[in-house]
């Protein structure tokens, strides 16, 4: 249930009742057919094969490989560890260039392995790596590029491939957000040396926790499989350094069940995105980031850019209002990796910092109803059309608390 928030006085922060009784999260999981999932869990228990290359993991890998049109898929316990084994299997060392505007796991995966993440700036239009800034950062120590297909919008992959080729660098994509998306008509998964997907609970297709590495390179796939299971090639035979990166059967069962609803999830996400676009249209200073209609797209993130020069209220003030209405909008990926410990060094990345201060992510997915979206948009409309007054209220509140 939600209440109308048409005037400033209606807003919970200024004395009204919260629009939502229960919190509305960004990242509420989509869940497919429960009965099918339960049946698969019963199969797992009957088989007593719970993990380590079980039949559901193999089936999950085959499905991902087919959907992405890639030769090999190696499923893992999550995308962070998938990045780590991909980084190691590709022999990345020294310095790797990575955007700062990403989830912290991208940078941590490098740093965890003793590889130095060198942060580059982003293209303000796509929020993905700026190839020109990246090229400037290449040194004799650079061994690779770890690019991120953020929000499911692809990097300038052609430019990155040509930079990698010209400089003899490995090219790894963090495509945690980009499952089900395409670049120039080709599904994400087969670009560069390898790509990594996340199937975390908050991703539009989840396997509870989970990840996958896709590659067309046979040798690399073999290495990754060994590394995923401590380097074992058979009982008692260890061929390489490895770790435990295995996906469990229950995760694969959840992944397979959710893959059966993939098209439905995308339809819902697309409808939600369209509704947000329609209901926020004409609000000065509010831009909903868009997706390329000519590509496959999962629409899993609804991201607004707030231009405070026009809205008068800042992004953080808008978030405070939304929180008080029980809409838990997120500041993904504030403040940027380069300003987070342990990376903070005083480096300045102007575009990253500008975008970090402007964006917010709103709830979407199958748990959000059209009525919820109407209410969320109404709150934003009320705040922005009364920007001056709302901002003045925040300022007087700050003055009182000083």
Of 86 and 313, CB closest to ligand T4K:
86
Q: Is 252 in the site for ligand T4K (CB under 6 A)?
A: no
Closest CA to 298 of 193, 147, 150: 150
Q: Is 107 in the site for ligand T4K (CB under 6 A)?
A: no
CB of 80 to ligand T4K, least distance (A): 4
Q: Which stretch binds ligand T4K (CB under 6 A): 74-82, 121-129, 132-140, 155-163?
A: 74-82
Count other Cβ atoms within 10 Å, centred on residue 227: 24
Q: Which of 2, 5, 30, 102 binds ligand T4K (CB under 6 A)?
A: 102
Q: How many residues bind ligand T4K, per CB under 6 A?
A: 21
CB of 299 to ligand T4K, least distance (A): 15
| Environment class of 165 (CB within 10 Å of its CB; exposed 0-12, middle 13-18, buried 19+) | exposed
The interface mask with ligand T4K, positions 180-199, x = CB under 6 A, is ------------------x-
Report the alpha-carbon distance of residue 8 to residue 6 in Å, rounded.
7
Report the alpha-carbon distance of residue 86 to residue 193 in Å, rounded.
9
Q: Is 174 in the site for ligand T4K (CB under 6 A)?
A: yes
Residue facing ligand T4K at closest CB distance: 27
**SS3 category, 96:** strand
The count of C-alpha atoms lying within 13 angstroms of the C-alpha of 375, restricted to the half-sphere facing its C-beta, is 22
CB of 234 to ligand T4K, least distance (A): 29
Whether residue 242 contacts residue 274, with contact meaning beta carbons closer than 8 Å, is answered with: no
Of 283 and 337, CB closest to ligand T4K:
337
Closest CA to 194 of 218, 228, 168, 227: 218
Q: Which of 20, 60, 103, 343 binds ligand T4K (CB under 6 A)?
A: 103
CB of 383 to ligand T4K, least distance (A): 22
Report the alpha-carbon distance of residue 350 to residue 335 in Å, rounded.
12
Read out DSSP for 156-175?
-HHHHHHHHHHHT-EEEEE-
CB of 301 to ligand T4K, least distance (A): 9
Count other Cβ atoms within 10 Å, centred on residue 36: 15
Q: Which two tokens stand for residue 117?
A: 């993440």
Q: Is 99 in the site for ligand T4K (CB under 6 A)?
A: no
Please list every residue from 131 through 150 that binds ligand T4K, using CB under 6 A. 148
Q: Which residue's structure tokens are 């790509």? A: 195
Q: Is 76 in the site for ligand T4K (CB under 6 A)?
A: no
Report the alpha-carbon distance of residue 356 to residue 342 in Å, rounded.
18
Q: Which of 101, 332, 334, 343 binds ligand T4K (CB under 6 A)?
A: 332
Report the alpha-carbon distance of residue 249 to residue 260 in Å, rounded.
17
Report the alpha-carbon distance of residue 207 to residue 75 in Å, rounded.
10
Of 56 and 333, CB closest to ligand T4K:
333
Report the alpha-carbon distance of residue 391 to residue 182 in Å, rounded.
41
Q: Which of 88, 200, 273, 393 binds ligand T4K (CB under 6 A)?
A: 200
Of 23 and 396, CB closest to ligand T4K:
23
Of 245 and 262, CB closest to ligand T4K:
245
Please list every residue from 206 through 225 that binds ligand T4K, using CB under 6 A. 211
Q: Which of 64, 75, 96, 105 binds ligand T4K (CB under 6 A)?
A: 105
Interface residues toward ligand T4K, by CB under 6 A: 25, 27-29, 78-80, 102-103, 105-106, 148, 174, 176-177, 198, 200-202, 211, 332
């Amino acid at each position: 249930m939600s209440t109308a928030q048409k005037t400033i006085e209606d807003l919970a922060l200024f004395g009204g009742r919260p629009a939502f009784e229960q919190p509305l999260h960004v990242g509420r999981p989509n869940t497919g057919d429960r009965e099918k999932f339960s049946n698969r869990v019963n199969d797992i228990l009957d088989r007593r094969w719970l993990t380590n290359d079980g039949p559901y993991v193999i089936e999950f890998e085959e499905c991902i490989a087919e959907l992405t049109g890639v030769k090999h898929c190696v499923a893992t316990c999550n995308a962070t560890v998938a990045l780590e084994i991909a980084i190691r299997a590709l022999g990345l060392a020294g310095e790797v260039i990575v955007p700062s505007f990403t989830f912290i796991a991208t940078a941590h995966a490098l740093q965890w392995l003793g590889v130095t993440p060198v942060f580059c700036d982003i293209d303000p239009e796509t929020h993905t790596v700026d190839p020109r800034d990246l090229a400037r950062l290449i040194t004799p120590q650079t061994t690779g590029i770890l690019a991120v297909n953020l929000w499911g919008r692809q990097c300038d992959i052609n430019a990155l491939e040509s930079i990698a080729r010209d400089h003899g660098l490995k090219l790894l994509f963090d495509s945690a957000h980009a499952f089900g998306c395409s670049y120039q008509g080709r599904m994400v998964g087969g670009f560069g040396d390898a790509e990594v997907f996340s199937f975390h609970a908050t991703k539009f297709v989840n396997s509870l926790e989970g990840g996958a590495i896709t590659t067309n390179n046979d040798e690399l796939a073999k290495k990754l499989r060994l590394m995923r299971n401590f380097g074992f090639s058979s009982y008692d035979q260890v061929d390489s350094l490895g770790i435990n990166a295995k996906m469990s059967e229950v995760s694969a069962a959840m992944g397979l069940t959710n893959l059966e609803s993939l098209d439905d999830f995308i339809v819902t996400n697309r409808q939600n995105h369209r509704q947000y676009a329609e209901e926020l249209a004409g609000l000065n200073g509010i831009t909903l980031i868009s997706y390329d209609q000519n590509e496959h797209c999962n629409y899993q993130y609804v991201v607004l850019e707030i231009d405070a020069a026009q809205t008068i209220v800042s992004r953080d003030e808008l978030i405070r209002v939304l929180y008080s209405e029980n809409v838990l909008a997120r500041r993904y990926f504030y403040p940027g990796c380069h300003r987070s410990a342990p990376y903070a060094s005083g480096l300045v990345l102007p575009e990253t910092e500008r975008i970090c201060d402007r964006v917010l992510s709103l709830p979407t997915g199958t748990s959000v109803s059209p009525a919820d979206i109407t209410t969320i948009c109404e709150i934003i409309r009320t705040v922005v059309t009364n920007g001056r007054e709302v901002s003045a209220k925040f300022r007087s509140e700050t003055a009182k608390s000083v």
